[in-house]
Amino acid sequence: MVSESERDSSSRIPNFFKLDVKERVRALHERGLITDSDLRALETSDHTLKLHIADKMIENVIGVLGLPVGLGLNFLVNGKDYVVPLSVEEPSIVAGLSGAARTTRLSGGFEATTTDPILIGQIQVVNLDDPERRKQELLDRSEEIINLANSLHPKMLGRGGGAKDIEVFLHQAPEDGRQMLVVHLLVDTRDAMGANVVNGMCEGVASLIETISGGKVFLRILSNLTDRALVHVRARIPVQNLEVKGFSGDQVRDGIILANDLARVDRYRAATHNKGIMNGVDAVAIATGNDFRAIEAAAHAYAARDGHYRALTRWYRNDEGDLVGEIEMPMKVGTVGGSLETNPTVRINHRLLGSPNATELASVMGAVGLAQNYAALRSLTTAGIQQNHMTLHARSVASTAQVPEEHFDTVVEALIESGDIKVWNAREILKRVQNNTAVAQGTEPRSYASGKIILLGEHAVVYGRPALAAPIPLAVEARVVDSADTILLIPRWGIEQRVPPMSENPQGLAGILALLLEQLDLASRSLTIEAFPNVPRAMGLGGSSALAVAVIRALSNHFKLDLSNERINELAFECERAAHGTPSGVDNTIATYGSTLLFENKEAPSFQEVRPAKSVSIAIGISGKESLTATTVARVRQAWERQPERYERIFDQIGDLTRAGTEALRDGAYQELGELMNLCHGYLNALQVSTPELEELIHIARRRGAAGAKLTGGGGGGSVIALCPDGAEDVVDAMQNSGFEALAFDLV
């Protein structure tokens, strides 16, 4: 058994989705989330339900049906971390839940409360002479009925549970108008699911109820409408945490509220809305051996409790403008007995959760329901849920086509782009990729280019102040080989596409490359361009400029064009202009020359090379959220237009910090430079271009000894940099252990 003290307290496991299954299992073991025996069982598939055991569970057994078990990460419920096991075959649920949980934990996670785990047993009484009088007599002798019920299950009473109360209801039959009484026996079943206990109690008190009522007991069975065992969960998400590519936080918030409002008034939408909630809840119920059918029945009956079927959730805006979500639903679950004792995988799943009691498990499942609802509504109101399903469907098709791991992401990307997500198409794409890769794996040397970081001066540089930028060495490598068709391959970014001629009006990367080939008089040549980026896309690290420079150099080398650095820089600038409209020229210049530069653009752009006095380590923390440079630049522009004098003073301060930082870099005064970086980040934060993820990374870096840390680039996502005179290893490890990507290099 894993003790609480031995368990890692965090539910965030860095890059978990990138690991293979065996690596994921070992990561759980290393964090103390599973035992040694669990590790062996999972590695050998010894945890699955055996046929001879299944044969004892139900009748006419012929086999065992398996379901995937995935993990929902990042869950923080009532201040406690949970790794949540999910057994489900539908794609997107696990990923959506983990993403939603990560968003909510930035503002404190989920707050959950539960009522006592009460299950209702019903005893139907007919053939009554005076129903109203008999009802009162049953209520008057309720203590006698309760005591008899508890005498049948003394162990349950000893655990603090047992029968607690009775209720009596009078009903009239719709067919013949006869009257009947229904006695509700309210039983606290503690950590047990409780069906057998309650049914046994109903049977046991039936004769006493007949004696008191003078009637005849007919049905005696539990009710699956467990509206006395409720869970209520609440989450608050600040609007800045809701931004996604192409949508502001305000738009996402208002869209979620509007979609939820429809489900509160329209039963057709409510059915789909609540089904989405149960996608998550059922997955936990199955994984933990609970009766998902009973939980489903209770949820839908509760949704119609006032005679109108409606959404189980409520999303609204609070006074601060935050998005607030709430869910209330029946959640009667168990953590002992039943299939928990029968299915080995269920036992492992309970240990993954930290062996919770029934009310704690109910809290987690309620949080999963609210998280799943948030994930679905956000997808519906932004890029659309279909795109997420399409990606996962493409992965499933690629798996069916037996695409090898080294080409898997490339084939998936091409399937989505083609719009024809079929097994035959996956196999055709795989053949093309393998042919092109075989060609590209020759002895052709690689060309390279640098990425970039901004040490000081973001945003102020747009208003004529200086910016200090430094290169990330070998950010992108590239090579060119002759082939049957012109193809761009970037396996690490999942890109494999044909580059058509300009006459076909290609767009995006293909369009930029087609323009470049035309300018170099290479449009008639067939070739494969393969790029190897060592930095992620759209994270504010100059990846697009580095790609352009590396490809231009590779073309120059392969076709012996002897392009000068000056010409390479000009061509890369044209590529940047085609991609971004009005680039500053910093990214392509650093990508070309690989030098630290002080850049200023008053009447005309000027670059001054800056040589550090000695090398120093730089750590880069990557938020995983795309840098929204255009959005943040526009936001700062709007603020500047409203209060130009105020913002000019801020830009002057950033400019002064940049000049002082340049001198500190030249002198090797790295503690001074770190302090200037911290101050600069303070101004950038005041400009509202930081994000919670960036702030978390900066806090991690400073806590682990960085002399200074700040965002780099436009903000709104992207990356942070940390100056580490004593080495970057501790900072990088801390960032990775907190679930972020990180890398380091030496600035020389």
* Active site members: 90, 275, 291, 389
What does the alpha-carbon distance between residue 115 and residue 366 come to, in Å, rounded to a whole number?
A: 13
What does the alpha-carbon distance between residue 20 and residue 22 come to, in Å, rounded to a whole number?
A: 6
Q: Which amino acid is it at 92? A: S
Segment (H or E) for 124 = strand 118-126
Bridge partners for 23 per DSSP: none
Decide if 533 contacts 596 (C-beta within 8 A).
no
Decide if 611 contacts 597 (C-beta within 8 A).
no
Q: Scanning the structure block, which residue is given the tokens 């399409």?
A: 390
Q: What angle do CA 59, 64, 66 make, to 5 degrees?
A: 140
For residue 471, CA distances in Å to 406, 485, 723, 742 come to: 30, 34, 14, 16
Locate 377 and state its tokens.
Answer: 């509504």
Residue 247, SS3 per DSSP = strand
Q: Which amino acid is it at 663? A: E
- Other CB atoms within 10 Å distance of the CB of residue 59: 5
Read off the DSSP letter of residue 716. S
Residue 152 class from Cβ within 10 Å (0-12 exposed, 13-18 middle, 19+ buried)? middle
Decide if 664 contacts 673 (C-beta within 8 A).
yes
Displacement of CA 641 from its chain's centroid (Å): 37
Displacement of CA 65 from its chain's centroid (Å): 28
**Helix ranges, 353-449 (H):** 358-381, 385-400, 405-418, 423-440
Read off the DSSP letter of residue 185. E
Closest residue by Cα to residue 360 from 620, 80, 726: 80
Decide if 632 contacts 706 (C-beta within 8 A).
no
Parallel/antiparallel/unpaired status of strands 527-533 and 487-490: parallel
What per-residue string of b and e applies to 709-727 under the rule 16 or more CB within 10 Å gives b?
bbbbbbbbbbbbbbbbbee
Decide if 246 contacts 382 (C-beta within 8 A).
yes
Beta strands in 674-734 (DSSP E): 708-712, 719-724
Locate 174 and state its tokens.
Answer: 């719709």
Decide if 30 contacts 2 (C-beta within 8 A).
no
What does the alpha-carbon distance between residue 299 and residue 293 come to, in Å, rounded to a whole number?
A: 10
What does the alpha-carbon distance between residue 336 and residue 371 come to, in Å, rounded to a whole number?
A: 26
Decide if 647 contacts 639 (C-beta within 8 A).
yes
Parallel/antiparallel/unpaired status of strands 467-482 and 597-601: antiparallel
Segment (H or E) for 119 = strand 118-126
Decide if 713 contacts 540 (C-beta within 8 A).
yes
Decide if 414 contacts 427 (C-beta within 8 A).
no
Q: Which amino acid is it at 654? A: I
Segment (H or E) for 447 = strand 447-456
CA distance between the termini of the chain? 51
Q: Scanning the structure block, which residue is given the tokens 């795309």?
A: 626
Closest residue by Cα to residue 597 from 584, 585, 586, 613: 586
Closest residue by Cα to residue 105 from 280, 236, 14, 15: 236
Decide if 11 contacts 75 (C-beta within 8 A).
yes
Segment (H or E) for 696 = helix 692-703
